[in-house]
Structure formats: C-alpha cells, structure tokens
C-alpha cells in the first residue's frame, strides 16, 4: 500500500506517441483511484521537424492538446485534478510558457549538429554509437550526461525526466557497463549538477511496463547514489496507455524506502509537498 496521494504527471496521449485519448487516460486514472493526472505531451522538436506527429506534437497539434486537456479538466473536475504540462526535450527551443509544469528530458545525444535518438530502437542507438561517436559507447553516454547535466537550466524543468534513459536498450549490459568508470563518472557529474538545482528526479517505471528494462529509471545503483548525495524523488509511470498509470508504484516506493529515502515529492496546484514513504 502506498501512503501518499496517487498522482502521475508523466502521461502521453494520441496527440504525441501515446495510444489513448486524453479522456480515456483520465478514465483509467479515475478507475485506479488517482487523485491527480498531469499530461505531458512531447514538445514540438523544432530541431527535427520530421518527428512531428510521429512522436512529438506539431505546433497546431499542441494547441489542440492544450484545449482538450483544459476542457477535460473542467469536465472531470469533481472526480480528479487534471494538469496540463509538457515534456520538454533538451534540444527543443519551443517555449514552455503557460503549462502547469515542465518535465526536462534528454532523448537525443547531439554531436556536431546531428541528433542521435537514444530511445528509438537498438538499431538507431547502434548507428549513433558507430556514426556519431566513433564506435565508442562511452563517448555517447558521456555526451548524453553532459546534456543531462544542463537539462534543468535549458528547459526550466519542474522535475527531471528519466535521468538514465540512455540505458533503455542496454539490458544485460548489451552496449556498455553502467559500473564502468567512464559511465559512472559522467552520470554522477550530471547528477551532482542537477541536485544543485533543487529539482527532484522522477522514478520512472515506463521502461519496465513496456518490457525494455527490469529496473526503473534511474537504476537502483543510481538511486542509491542519488540518496547518498541528497537528491529528491517523485514517482511517475511515463504512461502511453491507461493500464500503465501507476505501474509498480508500490514496488518503486518500497525500493526507494529500502535505499533510505524517507519521503517522496508530490506536485499539485500549490507546488511541491513531501509525503512519507
Ligand atoms: Zn521522455
Ligand atoms: Zn514521456
């Protein structure tokens, strides 16, 4: 049993790469006794317009997204608190003004003006390592975490999305060893820079739900590092369908507690509150 309010602020819909409508996601959250659901459509990737309407929202679509989330917030206001947020990509320069909150996320490792997506597919990741980083996976993870270190500054994020997304296809250490110094030094440097901003890190169970990972983002090891360094956490399920809302929140909360976290942060209309785990 979780003792804090059931809230998920990382939610996608058919406006970007989610599988269900805004309303269908809201109904799923109500059925799971969530008190608050925040939508976080993928911001328009103005640096890669070919992504629009595939997995990020075109400017026109963004307007429709905002209007629909607002209308649904009104329609369901007696049953659940609905917030309109955005998942801002590090590389996008589209404004995030007017949203309730911003998730700061790195999905691409940029090199010499090229953008290499780290969470699209193993083939795309392999091509990125080969073509962008001279065949060295640690050069790619280093660049990823250099960008991650700046993600709050760059996106003005309310919280930090999937800190180690670069491990999405690395189950079984297929491409790199996260205990290797080259990986760890880069990750911990980014973590320290982000802790300094005072923004919490999400424990994101979406990669587990979709079968890519056996651990949440960040990994248990990085979560231990985060605790040791004084970082703070919230839970989110990075939901692309209704069924996944709150996926393994109980287990994630338990794991955080075992690592030594005492509290989890919950965001709402009055800002952040802390709840005991
Ligand atoms: Zn993301
Ligand atoms: Zn997301």
- Looking at the CA of 89, name the nearest ligand: 1
Give start and end residues of each alpha helix (H) in 76-180: 122-127, 137-149, 151-155
Which ligand is closest to the CA of 118, given by its number? 1
Average pLDDT over residues 138-165: 98
Domains in the chain: how many in total?
A: 1
Question: What does the pLDDT read at residue 51?
Answer: 83
Within a domain: residue 53?
A: yes
Distance 238 CA to ligand 1 centre (A): 7
Task: Give the bridge partners for 159, in sequence order.
Answer: 103
Confidence check: pLDDT of 1 > 80: no
Residues 58-101 have pLDDT tens digits of: 999 999 999 999 999 999 999 999 999 999 999 999 999 999 99
Beta-bridge partners for 233? 201
Query: What pLDDT sits at residue 190?
Result: 98
pLDDT of residue 113: 94
Please report the pLDDT score of residue 50 as a whole number.
85
**What mean pLDDT, rounded, does the chain reach?**
97
Cα(154)–Cα(106) distance, integer angstroms: 10
For the CA of 18, the nearest ligand:
2
Structural domain contains residue 39 = yes
138 within some domain: no
The residue-averaged pLDDT of 204-212 equals 96
Question: What is the predicted pLDDT for the residue at 54?
Answer: 82
State in Å: Cα 127 to ligand 2 middle: 23
Ligand sitting nearest the alpha carbon of 236: 2
- Give the number of the ligand closest to the Cα of residue 119: 1
250 lies in a domain?
Answer: yes
147 Cβ contact partners less than 8 Å away, ≥ 6 residues apart: 90, 106, 109, 110
Residue 83 belongs to what domain range? 7-104+156-171+199-276
Which pTM does this prediction carry?
Answer: 0.98
Model confidence over 172-197: pLDDT tens digits?
999 999 999 999 999 999 999 999 99
Check residue 121 and report its DSSP letter.
-
- 22 CA distance to ligand 1 middle (Å): 18
130 domain-assigned: no
What is the distance between the alpha carbons of residues 236 and 255, in angstroms, rounded to a whole number? 14
CATH of the domain at 90: 3.20.20.140
Q: How confident is the model at residue 49 (pLDDT cuts 50, 70, 90)?
A: confident
User: Is 220 a domain residue?
Assistant: yes
- Tell me if 256 is assigned to some domain: yes
Decide if pLDDT at 53 tops 80: no
> pLDDT at position 2, please?
81
pLDDT tens-digit series, residues 20-37: 999 999 999 999 999 999
Distance 206 CA to ligand 1 centre (A): 9
In a domain, 178, yes or no: no
Arithmetic mean of pLDDT, 229-240: 98
């Amino acid at each position: 049993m979780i003792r804090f309010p059931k809230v998920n602020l990382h939610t996608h819909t058919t406006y970007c790469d989610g599988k269900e409508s805004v309303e269908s996601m809201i109904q799923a959250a109500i059925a799971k006794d969530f008190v608050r659901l925040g939508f976080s459509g993928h911001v328009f990737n103005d640096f890669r317009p070919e992504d629009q309407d595939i997995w990020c929202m075109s400017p026109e679509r963004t307007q429709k997204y905002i209007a629909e989330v607002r209308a649904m917030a009104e329609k369901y206001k007696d049953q659940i608190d609905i917030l309109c947020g955005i998942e801002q990509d590090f590389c996008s320069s589209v404004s995030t003004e007017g949203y309730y909150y911003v998730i700061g996320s790195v999905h691409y490792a940029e090199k010499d003006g090229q953008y290499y997506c780290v969470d699209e597919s193993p083939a795309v990741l392999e091509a990125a390592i080969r073509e962008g980083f001279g065949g060295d996976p640690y050069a790619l993870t280093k660049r990823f975490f250099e960008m991650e270190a700046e993600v709050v500054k760059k996106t003005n994020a309310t919280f930090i999305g999937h800190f180690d997304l670069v491990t999405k296809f690395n189950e079984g250490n297929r491409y790199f060893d996260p205990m290797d110094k080259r990986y760890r030094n880069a990750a911990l440097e980014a973590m320290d820079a982000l802790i300094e901003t005072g923004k919490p890190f999400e424990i994101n169970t979406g990669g587990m739900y979709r079968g890519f990972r056996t651990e949440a983002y960040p990994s248990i090891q990085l979560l231990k590092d985060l605790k040791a360094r004084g970082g703070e956490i919230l839970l989110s399920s990075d939901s692309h369908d209704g069924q996944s809302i709150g996926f393994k929140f109980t287990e994630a909360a338990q794991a955080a507690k075992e690592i030594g976290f005492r509290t989890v942060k919950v965001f709402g209309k009055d800002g952040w509150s802390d709840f005991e785990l």
